[in-house]
Amino acid sequence: MAAENETHISEFLLLGFSKDAKLQPLIYVMFLTMYLTTVLGNLLIILATSSDPHLHTPMYFFLANLSFVDICFVSTTIPKMLQNIRTQRKGISYEGCFTQLFFFLLFIGLDDFLLTVMAYDRFVAICHPLHYTVIMNPRLCGLLLLGCWGLSVFYSTFEILGALRLSFCTKVEIPHFFCELNQVLNLACSDIFLNTVFTYCISVALAGGPLLGIIYSYSKIASSICGISSAQGKYKAFSTCASHLSVVSLFYFTSMGVYLSSGASEQSSASTISSVLYTVVTPMLNPFIYSLRNKDIKRALNALFVQGMTERSILLR
C-alpha cells in the first residue's frame, strides 16, 4: 500500500475534453474565441461604466466589479488549458493546481455574492426609491464589496487548507480541463470525510444563503411592481432588473445543473463538458445580456466608440 501512495507529488495531469489529436485544434480555436470574447465584452462594460458620468451609480459600480471578476474567473482556467493544448502537454504543477483551485473558488464565490448584492440594490431602488441615494451611499457600497471579497477569501482559503493536508495517490489524472475541487479530492489516498462534510456544508451555506436573499429581494420587488398603477411604470420598474434577473438565472441554473448531474452520473466526461456552461459560457454571455437589454449601457458604448473613432481620425490627420 505504501508503494501506491505518495505524500508529495510534483504535478497533476489534466485530461481535458478529448484524447483525439484531430479535435485539439478545434477545441483550441473554440475556447480561444470564447475567452477573447469574454475578456473583450466585460472590458467594454468596465470602460463604459467608468467613462460615462451618468453610470456612476451603485448599480453600475457593482456591474463593473462583476465584469472584472468574470475576466479573472475565465483567466484562472482557460489560459492554462490553451497552453497545454498548444504544447501538447497535460501537466500542471502541484503548486499551480492548488493556486488555480484557490482563485477559481475565490472568483466563483465573488460572482455569487456580487449577484446577491446587486439584487439588494435593485430591491432598495424599486421598493424604497425615495431613500435609495441615502441607503446605497458610497460607504455602504464599499463595505458590501469588501464583504464579498472577505467571504470569498475565507471560503477559498479554508477549502485549500483542507485539501493541502491530503496525500495523493500516484495516479493523479484529473478528468477535467482545470483543477476542480471534487476531482482533486477524489485523487487523495488519505481520508477525505472531513473535507467532504466541510465542502457540502459551506457550499450549501454560501450558495443557499445568497440564493434565498435573491429570492426574497425579488419577491419584494414583484410585490412592489404589482402595486404600481400604470403599465408604463410597471415596465420601467421591471426593465431595471430584467438584465440582472437573466444573469442570476443563467448562473444558478447552469452551476446547479452541473453539480446535480455530476452527482447523479458517473460519466466524468459529460460533467466536464457541461461545466463549460458556468465556467466559460456564463461569463461570456453576461456582457451581451447587460448591453442588449440596457439602454444606458448601449448609450455609453456608442459614446465610447464615437469618441474612439474621433480621436483616431484626429491622429490620422
pTM, 2 dp: 0.90
Q: Distance between CA atoms of 235 and 253, rounded to whole angstroms?
A: 25
The string of DSSP codes covering 210-261 is: HHHHHHHHHHHHHHHHHT--SHHHHHHHHHHHHHHHHHHHHHHHHHHHHHHH
**34-88: per-residue pLDDT in tens?**
999 999 999 999 999 998 888 899 999 999 999 999 999 999 999 999 999 998 8
> Can you give the pLDDT at residue 262?
53
pLDDT tier for residue 2 given thresholds of 50, 70 and 90: very low
Q: How many CB atoms lie within 10 A of CB 205?
A: 11
Integer CA distances (angstroms), 111 to 129, 251, 292, in order: 26, 9, 21
- Domains along the sequence of the chain with CATH: 2-316 (1.20.1070.10)
Q: Report helix, strand or coil for 15.
A: coil
Task: Indicate the range of 144-158, 160-174, 248-262 predicted with least confidence.
Answer: 248-262
**CA distances (Å), origin 126, targets 3, 114, 219, 231, 238:** 64, 18, 12, 15, 9
Dihedral, CA of residue 283, residue 164, residue 203 and residue 18, to nearest 10 = 50
Q: Please, which residues bridge with residue 99 across strands? A: none
Per the listing, cell 402595486 goes with 227
Write down the pLDDT at residue 270. Answer: 61
**Eight-state DSSP code of residue 22:** G
How many CB atoms are closer than 10 A to CB 176? 22
Average pLDDT of every residue of the chain: 85
> What Å distances lie between residue 150 and 123, 143, 145, 182, CA to CA?
23, 10, 9, 23
Where residue 152 falls (left for φ over 0; alpha for ψ -120 to 50; beta otherwise) is: alpha
Query: Residue 184: which of 92, 275, 276 has the closest Cα?
Result: 92
Band (297; pLDDT cuts 50, 70, 90): confident
Mean pLDDT of 230-245: 81
Q: What is the pLDDT of residue 6?
A: 47
Q: Is residue 316 exposed (0-12), middle (13-18) or buried (19+ Cβ within 10 Å)?
A: exposed
Amino acid at 81: M
Answer whether residue 216 shows pLDDT above 90.
yes
Q: Using alpha carbons, select from 99, 27, 34, 123 the residue that is nearest to residue 70.
A: 34
Calculate what percentage of the chain has a pLDDT beyond 70.
89
**Residue 312: which pLDDT band, with cuts at 50, 70 and 90?**
low
Task: For residues 100 and 123, give the distance between their C-alpha atoms in angstroms, rounded to a whole number.
Answer: 35
